[in-house]
Structure 1
Amino acid sequence: MQAAMLARARPSFVAAAKAQRTKGIRARRSVRVCAKLELEQVAGAYANALVEVAQKTSSLEAVHADVDALASVLKENDSLKELLSNPVIAEAKKKEVVKRLAAEASFSQYTVNFLNLLIDQNRIEALDEICESFEKSYCALTDTQVATLRSAVKLEQEQQFLIAKKLQELTGSKNIKLKPVVDADLVAGFVVEYGSTQIDLSVKGQLEKITGELVATAQRM
């Protein structure tokens, strides 16, 4: 009798366990989403504060160059990112690292002061997001269109200049900022992406276009 009762009750136990797991997964996702939103809000607030200081001190271009360089360093150096965001590392150690980095990259004093402030307020772990938010604000202020330039091989500066000039004509933007990326899969040529627009002048893109046209023709026959 007990075995029969347990057998009948088993589906309800399984259903309850599944429901509990689903609830737990949703709760964890909700926590991650909230944490991400909070991080973005914090990053935006600090980035806007830096933009405001840079504007008031007529050092927007200098600070932007610093932030641009900093973003590149963080992207290429995971150990630096981990050191700065590690809560166990002493603040003095982090500030010493910032001091050396600033000296090597010739950062402005405003940028150095800002980085030290982030360390003091335990917000240095949001540096990636702050750099990204600062870049968006800077581009909006200076009417700068950011475009990713993917090419099969690294393009010469003159080639990049000509592409940027053409993009300036197409977009009507005052400034163009190219982000070059080498993509060997393209075979040859290049692809320019900005906003929701893509200009594909690669061999791979042309081959895919021709293949698509041939398939469409075959389907109509």
Structure 2
Amino acid sequence: MVSFALNRACVRPAFIKAQRPCSIRSGRRSLRVCAKLELQQVAGAYANALVEVAQKTSSLEAVHSDVDTLASVLKDNAAVLVLLSNPVISEDRKKDVVKKLASEAGFSQYTVNFLNLLIDQNRVEALEDICESFEKSYCALTDTQVATLRSAVKLEQEQQFLIAKKLQELTGSKNIKLKPVVDEELVAGFIVEYGSTQIDLSVKGQLDRITGELLMTAQTM
């Protein structure tokens, strides 16, 4: 079994404790905001630790693939996170679930041990935020531009490849990661969104532009 260098020291608990506690104002909304901020701070610390280990062990791509898969699993099946976060369920039972999931998805041992560490330290509730934070760090390290591709129907792989290649030319990024989303309201065509930029090549977008032009013309008459 491959040893996993990530331990309690790696996640820098002192750093987590050093964070200034969020000032609690009256009202449930303030409490929720505070809790969310603290959760994001914890997630960032754990994600950075996982990135560091993945880099040192030359397994960044493998771990990133695992995290990508894990994020999809959590998105499609909320019951997994509910089960792993349930304080009533034993740690052994949770680790059995992780073992089964890892076996089916082909996770690396580093990812498995990291998930077990989250269980040991009762931090599984931060898993979704950890995946998101890890993704941001990975993209920054590998010069990867993430873009959302919204289309009226699911595009073929070849079409997605051509769009990604064009985006690579436009952005100058080393890598492009497309996140396809089917949006039937677009009628036809597609919209690409990355950063603060939007490229609208949808029929709906064209209709909206024509409608806007007609309204402007009518106002000036």
Q: For the superposition of Structure 1 and Structure 2, which TM-score range results when normalised by the shorter chain?
A: 0.7 to 0.9
| Residue aligning to 1:121 | 121
| Residue aligning to 1:156 | 156
Contact 2:98 2:112 in 1 (8 A): yes
| Residue aligning to 1:212 | 212
| Residue aligning to 1:13 | none
SS at 2:207 equivalent: helix
| Residue aligning to 1:136 | 136
Q: How big is each residue's C-alpha offset from its partner over 1:8-62, in whole Å with a ceiling of 9 and x where there is no partner? A: xxxxxxxxxxxxxxxx984322222211111000000000000000000000000
RMSD of the alignment, in Å?
1.2
- Does residue 91 (structure 1) correspond to residue 97 (structure 2)? The answer is no
SS at 2:180 equivalent: strand
- Between stretches 78-87 and 182-191, larger displacement belongs to 78-87
Q: TM-score, normalised by structure 2?
A: 0.88
Q: Distance in 2 between matches of 1:84 and 1:147?
A: 31
SS at 1:89 equivalent: coil
| Residue aligning to 1:167 | 167
Q: Distance in 1 between matches of 2:163 and 2:212?
A: 27
Unmatched tracts of structure 1, length 5 or more: 1-23
Report % sequence identity. 84
Contact 2:81 2:124 in 1 (8 A): no
Matched to 1:52, the amino acid is E
Q: Distance in 1 between matches of 2:157 and 2:89?
A: 41
- Does residue 78 (structure 1) correspond to residue 78 (structure 2)? The answer is yes
Q: Distance in 1 between matches of 2:123 and 2:25?
A: 28
Unmatched tracts of structure 2, length 5 or more: 1-23
Q: TM-score, normalised by structure 1?
A: 0.88
SS at 1:145 equivalent: strand
Contact 2:25 2:31 in 1 (8 A): no
Using the TM superposition, give the Cα deviation of residue 85 of structure 1 relative to its aligned residue in structure 2, in angstroms: 1.3
Q: Distance in 1 between matches of 2:54 and 2:107?
A: 13
**Structure 1 residue ranges (4+ consecutive) displaced by more than 2 angstroms after TM superposition:** 24-30
Matched to 2:209, the amino acid is K
SS at 1:185 equivalent: helix
